[in-house]
Amino acid sequence: MIPIKPVPVTAVAGQGASGPAQAALAFLKPGSLQLTALPPLSLYVHFPWCVRKCPYCDFNSHEVKDGFPEQEYLEALRLDLEQALPLIWGRKIYSIFIGGGTPSLLSAAGLDRLLSDLRTLLPLDADIEITMEANPGTFEADKFRSYRESGINRLSIGIQSFNSAHLQALGRIHDGGQAHKAVEIAHANFDNFNLDLMYALPQQTLEQARTDIQTAIDFAPPHLSLYHLTLEPNTLFAKFPPAVPDEDTSADMQDMIGELTTQAGYGNYEVSAYAQPGRRARHNLNYWQFGDYLGIGAGAHSKLSFPHRIVRQMRYKHPQAYLQHIKAGTHIQEEAEIGRDALGFEFMLNALRLTEGFPPNLFAERTGLALNQIGKQLDLAERKGMLYRDHALIRPTPLGRRFLNDLQEIFLSG
């Protein structure tokens, strides 16, 4: 955390008392919260293009038809960041995450330019974590060596499965052999990387899921993200649902994952996140601890704290709309203050995902509210056996973790 200081709204060259600077002034008008310090700040950079849209994907991604405007988009990202600087002036960046889409479609020179722009405009922590998402179908050894030399120090690889038939059912552009090769390239160039896998896939058996997880563990990645396949609204799978394992089989898969990861020395520190000692994802931890993040790029979201309020922003989602609006400084499509009634729920929605929970004073630090704001909900969750709390800790019990959605819903009520 850093102590709150006034935001110099004229610090960016060429910006007067209008546009982003005026927005910064508006955010700083006295409100109802009392934040004594600002939380850690992360940066998210969105790359909205991919080779092919997967049928389960509900992220803001758009298929590359005849290439994409790399230079124009990189220029837009820099302009986006320049216009946002008055809102975060003087704050250090502790982690960067470049996600998508498929950011590994960027050329080596393009990625180098992006990181150079970020270093020029932002004060970065000396030990900053810089993660880039990558898909096995776009892995080229030389390009990834260049990414590492440019400053990427952590990869997050979208493996999803090592089984070619399951990858085909998921609409992935890579096969099992390419998945293995991608991890080998990552091992050769990065000492910190994450493997993303999904389970409860169409027609997947328990033993097939076990083989996938064990294969991933055998590569000894520092971090694993293991997700249950969900049929999200507005996806092809939602419109044409595939045959997926039943609830009992899915539960068996979850139990199996717990056993294999524990035996291999991975700590399950968040619902879907497993890490070797000292290898937790700093960027994601900041989300779950209700830290701040600035998002730049098409469809990127931001959550930014000020002394008396906390605000959210969303950029235009479609790349062409984003590129058109950025030049006029009108690229923020949605912007709103988080109300007092919603803050408690938003904090708990994130923090309850953490296996070890959080210290009670973190609630006041991150929301500007007293803990008694959610006192009735805490009491109810404790009576139901879903929450443990004492003077030093609040965390979900095993029952609360098993029925996390039900636990989170308790904090929806005011």
pLDDT in tens, 344-361: 999 999 999 999 999 999
Q: Which one-letter DSSP state was computed for residue 40?
A: P
Q: Is the peptide bond before 344 cis (omega within 30 degrees of 0)?
A: no
Question: What's the average model confidence in pLDDT over 147-151?
Answer: 94
pLDDT at 21: 37
Structure tokens at 350: 């994130």
pLDDT in tens, 371-388: 999 999 999 999 999 999
Q: Which one-letter DSSP state was computed for residue 129?
A: E
- Which residues have a Cβ under 8 Å from the Cβ of 199 and sit 6 or more positions away? 209, 212, 213, 226, 227, 228, 229, 250, 253, 254, 257
Q: Is 18 a residue whose pLDDT tops 50?
A: no
pLDDT in tens, 128-148: 999 999 988 877 788 889 999
Average pLDDT over the chain reads 90
Residue 166 binned pLDDT confidence (cut-offs 50, 70, 90): very high
Q: Are 101 and 47 in contact (CB under 8 A)?
A: yes
Q: Is 271 a residue whose pLDDT tops 70?
A: yes
More confident: 166 or 232: 166
pLDDT in tens, 30-50: 446 889 899 999 999 999 998
More confident: 1 or 401: 401
Determine what percent of the chain is predicted with pLDDT higher than 70: 92
What the chain holds in terms of domains, given with CATH numbers, is 2-286 (3.80.30.20), 356-414 (no CATH)
Strands (E), 281-380: 292-296, 301-306, 309-315, 332-337
pTM of the model as a whole: 0.90
Lowest mean pLDDT among 49-53, 157-161, 329-333: 49-53
Residue 414 binned pLDDT confidence (cut-offs 50, 70, 90): low
Q: Is 10 a residue whose pLDDT tops 50?
A: no
Question: What's the average model confidence in pLDDT over 4-22?
Answer: 32
